[in-house]
Structure 1
Amino acid sequence: MRNIGVITNREKDIGLKYTKQLIKSIEKHGGQVILPTPNSNGKEGIDDEVNEICGRCDLIICLGGDGTFLKAARAAYLYDIPMLGINLGSLGFLTDIEKGEIDKCVEIIFGGNYKIEERMMISSKIYKGGRLFAEDEAINDVVISRGGIQRILHLSTFIDDNFIEMFPCDGIVMATPTGSTAYSLSAGGPIVDPTSNLIIVTPICPHILYSSSFIAKEEQRIKVSVADGFEHTALVNVDGQKLYEISGGDYLVIEKTESKLKILKIDSKNFFKIVRNKFYDRKED
């Protein structure tokens, strides 16, 4: 990999200290740095920056938090270009390279000692009046929520047209394995290996005693419908980036898509060791 695109959340890298270090390190190893035209919209313009440079890159390195990485990745996967994240945020599950590891990371990349992981994605189709209203794809999750209203949602959930449960709840998170450490986890969902192929369905604050997450196989289709009598507007949120409004009688279909997110990995550490260190700051004895 010689042509490397660099995308930075300038609000996270004040003065571009780490961006400049990264550029210097890439050029030191004979690489070509591809930079976008500076965008005045901050993180909101990152997808435009990725679209500008993707046609010239072998790899995109993103400096920021997981939110920055996710926004960039939602553009990069369309070009089948691998991503690498440098963490300038807090936890950093997607941006798993720490800022103190920049030079070492670049050396490993140019030495060819890396692997490319392919992460499963899901498609989201919203139907209104039985007709397709909107379609999108998610890297992390698709969330149905009640938005700003104070009315509980009644969401009927099906797997392959088999009824599972009608959840009185604040919403439902449908997550990929990559998204299992994001909103899904906060809602009580399980942590799974991000290279798995499955879909995690977790109700948010369900008003029933026995509710818990359930996991669908990659080939299964999930349908969630809003109760007919619901007269208010609920929200469908895709990766925390795109919002759609739904109401009573509308339904959502979630299934695995053929699209994949490619992530460049240079660290052979076990995923669950990373989880332990990120959440508990615990090292091996």
Structure 2
Amino acid sequence: MDVIGIVCNAAKPAAVEVARTLVRELDARGLRVVLTPEAAAAVGAPDRSRPFPGGWHGVDLAIVLGGDGTLLRAAKAASPLGLPVLGVNTGHLGFLTEMEASELLPSLDGILSGDWQVEERMMLRARVMRGGQEAMGGEALNDAVIARGTLARMVHFTARVGAIPVADYAADGVIIATPTGSTAYSLSAGGPILHPGLSVLLITPICPHTFNARSLVVPGGEAVTVELHDPGEVLLQLDGQTAGPLLPGDEVVVERAPQVARLVRRSPFRFYDVLRRKLAEPQRIIGTSFGG
């Protein structure tokens, strides 16, 4: 292993301090270190700045310092490169991250020697089709959410799996989640928990105006299409980030992405142990993925 990349949440002083220490430790071991522009500015190392992910070809491992949000964004950005990502939690909660900040330095030599394995996580791709043209789109590791904006009104839409209509909803919105995302927003909306090793998509309505609407699990090879019927402010969000507004007649096509997120694990991932532990803390898991 020759080149290590560092991503950190520059808004978190704890993450910046760990990044500074990590740069010193990697330098002492004779490794080349690159940082995202934000991380480089935060730690005072502008000469190590490389655009992420475009300037990270040849990087062997990305170490991500922050919380689950930072890891989600970094893993998604790194996925086209096939770059493995090690999540180090420097915040209050970290369910996707692999270790706490206090564990990083004691584990560093083992990590650098390759004493880890990669867990591949399914991602999804969403495309907004407008008048037969792709108006916008993007990838997500957790979920794509179609929901109302600031107006307190229901959204009317139809969901199809392949070419087959499966549901007409009047609801606050709908979530299309990966198995990793099944323990995030979808769980708080009443959806089931799925093992992250599955290759499926999960459709969960948000506050549906009926007693009959239920979540639906569909094969990962199928495309889920959501057609919007109403005027008004409706947004598409990917992993919590707004992709843009939707218009009546828009179709949002969600399917398995061609690339996967590659998360570094020091030992085989034991999902049911994590599940048991996190379900013992129900007030802490709602809205946050705990797939790691």
Give 1:168 deviation, angstroms.
Answer: 0.8
Q: Residue 86 of structure 1: SS of its match in structure 2? A: strand
| Unpaired runs of at least 5, structure 2 | 43-49, 283-292
CA distance in 1, matches of 2:119, 2:215: 26
Give 1:277 deviation, angstroms.
Answer: 2.6
Change (3 A) 1:254 1:18: same
Per mean C-alpha deviation after superposition, the further-off stretch among 99-108 and 10-19 is 10-19
Verify the 8 A CA contact 1:85 1:95 in the aligned structure 2.
yes
Per mean C-alpha deviation after superposition, the further-off stretch among 190-199 and 168-177 is 190-199
Verify the 8 A CA contact 1:123 1:136 in the aligned structure 2.
yes
Give 1:52 deviation, angstroms.
Answer: 5.8
Q: Residue 119 of structure 1: SS of its match in structure 2? A: strand
TM (norm. structure 1) is 0.87
Change (3 A) 1:37 1:221: closer
Match of 1:133 in 2: 135
Verify the 8 A CA contact 1:13 1:64 in the aligned structure 2.
no
CA distance in 1, matches of 2:105, 2:66: 17
TM (norm. structure 2) is 0.85
Percent of aligned pairs with the same amino acid: 34
Give 1:17 deviation, angstroms.
Answer: 2.7
Change (3 A) 1:209 1:145: same
Give 1:214 deviation, angstroms.
Answer: 0.8
- The correspondence for 1:74, drawn from 62, 73, 76, is 76
Change (3 A) 1:86 1:210: same
Match of 1:255 in 2: 255
Match of 2:165 in 1: 163
Match of 1:19 in 2: 19
Change (3 A) 1:249 1:41: farther
Match of 1:179 in 2: 181
CA distance in 1, matches of 2:55, 2:92: 27
CA distance in 1, matches of 2:160, 2:134: 18
Give 1:272 deviation, angstroms.
Answer: 2.2
- The correspondence for 1:83, drawn from 82, 85, 92, is 85
Verify the 8 A CA contact 1:26 1:106 in the aligned structure 2.
no
Per mean C-alpha deviation after superposition, the further-off stretch among 233-242 and 62-71 is 233-242
Give 1:102 deviation, angstroms.
Answer: 0.8
Change (3 A) 1:234 1:10: same
| Unpaired runs of at least 5, structure 1 | 43-47
Q: Residue 67 of structure 1: SS of its match in structure 2? A: helix
Match of 1:62 in 2: 64
Q: Residue 19 of structure 1: SS of its match in structure 2? A: helix
Verify the 8 A CA contact 1:13 1:19 in the aligned structure 2.
no
Verify the 8 A CA contact 1:36 1:52 in the aligned structure 2.
no
Match of 2:192 in 1: 190
Match of 1:45 in 2: none
Give 1:103 deviation, angstroms.
Answer: 1.9
Give 1:95 deviation, angstroms.
Answer: 1.6
CA distance in 2, matches of 1:278, 1:86: 18
Q: Residue 244 of structure 2: SS of its match in structure 1? A: strand
CA distance in 2, matches of 1:16, 1:29: 20
Match of 2:223 in 1: 221
Change (3 A) 1:231 1:37: closer
Match of 1:10 in 2: 10
Verify the 8 A CA contact 1:39 1:49 in the aligned structure 2.
no
Listed one character per residue, the Cα deviations across residues 141-200 of structure 1 (whole Å, up to 9, x for unaligned) are 110001111220011111112121111100011011121222112212222222221111
Verify the 8 A CA contact 2:128 2:251 in the aligned structure 1.
yes
Listed one character per residue, the Cα deviations across residues 56-84 of structure 1 (whole Å, up to 9, x for unaligned) are 41111110011111222232112221111
Verify the 8 A CA contact 2:155 2:173 in the aligned structure 1.
yes
Q: Residue 51 of structure 1: SS of its match in structure 2? A: coil
CA distance in 2, matches of 1:82, 1:171: 33
Q: Residue 210 of structure 1: SS of its match in structure 2? A: coil
Change (3 A) 1:281 1:165: closer
CA distance in 2, matches of 1:38, 1:150: 37
Verify the 8 A CA contact 2:136 2:243 in the aligned structure 1.
no
Change (3 A) 1:85 1:49: farther
Verify the 8 A CA contact 2:235 2:242 in the aligned structure 1.
no
